[in-house]
Structure 1
């Protein structure tokens, strides 16, 4: 059968508010999400048996294949769709892991899109969406792979049109466990960081796709996980300082639960120059210059 290929784009939380922690232990979030032009690549050779092999610079970081999100998502979809054609996946792993940019979630979302295509399903088939929601909080937004606002525990999405945002993304190649960051945040069950009035008064996003209004709106936001992440892994502060010291930077912030940070620039040339400077000064860091949209 024909080899199928999909792109697992990195997710970037341009803003992230933690509204509170529910009684079931999950945290309610409000996030503006964009996607980058750096990605893992996933291929599927359809067949009766499920398998996964990894290649690329991050292959050694993928851990136990039986517990990989690609495999978990595929098995969960097979449980819901009788006679689902599975097959052999090959993951070209290029994004850093445990990095706050949804690499594993993007891989799982790509697997669901590939399986949907191989089996004549739509990406918004309720069974595909249910598997995405149940397999990981970031998988629904990665399944859409489109700029949006994300609320709840990640299941409520509202699509947006963003301008292209020249950016630099930096990861110090230090993994940060999301659970450790939320533990450091320290919210008890039923405890809220933001009141209902705060949420109702939160500013809306620009109505058009003009660059400056969007950058100003993003800059006015925050990432509530940045302070606890700095306690868990102080090197995040070094990354933010390096980004903020570059020429042309408009704003710099951590993505997700870290340790990846991003900065937005006025032009692609400024972003590329900043990336070159940071990579030269920090040769062990993962550095990417590109575009968020």
Structure 2
């Protein structure tokens, strides 16, 4: 039997950086949300763990020595004491190093998928997730949640005003290193993220813009589109998102997006 699991694109609706930690990481306050669309992972039983790749961005991952999907599978196998393997296939639809949590979402999808395939306790997946990356616990839930700490301290929030919102994701097709963006952050704490995420911000935008100026061009273009209610960068970039007031406005915005940029029209879950 072949199992399949979505790996929804992650969006940081707001991202406040509150300070550097002694371990070199950063204390954050963010609101995670997830799109209906993204990558997709499938698997079937096998003697060994293997991964094959397809989709428009598969080439960027080929030859990767430390793919997060394989790490997730091997870590879960060890944690649960499973001898069975899995033949995994990743349909890579999202750009790599794009601020959409693609690698984290793929790893989280692997944990959910293999929990079903191997018929093991989901607690094993929850225990493994934090060691795979700060965003993996949020992606494991794949539901609207407030993240604190390094983003791994999660509190689900009411998504009634978020779910179903039309969203356009746009990326300039320039990979952006998260480490470089955080290294450029100016270190200033500009205050907490309140309950009204729309009045928040992304504190990493200036640092990301210095690395990839096209981010500013995308944001300006988004804010000029009819029906846009909010436009921001997601995560550490370089992807940006625009929220629209209607599906029709979303369709028009997606149609108007310049061909030189990658884009995906979707809805928030």
Matching of residue 241 in structure 1 with residue 220 in structure 2: yes
Q: 1:290 aligns with which of 258, 261, 266?
A: 266
Q: Structure 1: which 5+ residue stretches go unaligned?
A: 205-216
Deviations 1:207-242, CA, capped at 9 Å, x for gaps: xxxxxxxxxx33311001111100111110011011
Residue matched to 2:245: 266
1:153 aligned to 2:132?
no
Q: What SS class does the counterpart of residue 39 from structure 2 fall into?
A: strand
CA drift of 1:84 comes to 4.2
Q: Take 1:115 and 1:168, find their aligned partners in 2: how far apart are those partners?
A: 31
- Counterpart position of 2:132: 135
Are the counterparts in 2 of residues 84 and 119 from structure 1 also a CA contact under 8 Å?
no
1:10 aligned residue = 9
1:255-281 Cα deviation digits (max 9, x unpaired): 000011001111111111011112xxx
1:109 and 2:100 are equivalent in the alignment: no
Please tell me whether the aligned partners of residues 69 and 107 of structure 2 are also in contact (alpha carbons under 8 angstroms): yes
Partner of 2:55: 56
Superimposed CA distance per residue, residues 55-100 of structure 1 (whole angstroms, 9 cap, x where no aligned partner): 1111101143441100011111222221342211001110111000
1:193 is aligned, of 167, 175, 189, to 189
Q: Aligned equivalents of 1:83 and 1:290: distance in 2? A: 37
Paired positions, count: 266
1:141 and 1:61 map into 2 onto residues whose CA distance is 24
Whole-Å separation in 1 of the counterparts to 2:117 and 2:9: 23
| SS, match of residue 264 in structure 1 | strand
CA distance in structure 1 between the partners assigned to 2:121 and 2:35 by the alignment? 24
Runs of 4+ in 1 over 6 A off after TM superposition: none
Q: Please state if 1:170 is matched with 2:170.
A: yes
Say whether the 8 Å CA contact 1:52–1:65 is kept in structure 2: no
1:149, 1:160 within 8 Å by CA — same for their partners in 2?
Answer: yes
Secondary structure of 1:132's aligned partner: helix
SS in 1 for 2:59: helix
| Corresponding position of 2:181 | 181
TM-score by length of 2: 0.94
- Please give the alpha-carbon distance, in whole angstroms, between the structure 1 residues aligned to 2:208 and 2:61: 22
CA contact (8 A) 2:53 2:62 kept: no
Unaligned runs of 5+ in 2: none
Instruction: After TM superposition, give the deviation of residue 114 of structure 1 in Å.
Output: 1.1
Give secondary structure in 2 for the equivalent of 1:75. Answer: helix
Alpha-carbon RMSD across the aligned residues, in angstroms, is 1.5
- Whether the aligned pair in 2 keeps the contact of 1:86 and 1:115 (CA below 8 Å) is no
User: Partners of 1:122 and 1:101 in 2: how far apart?
Assistant: 28
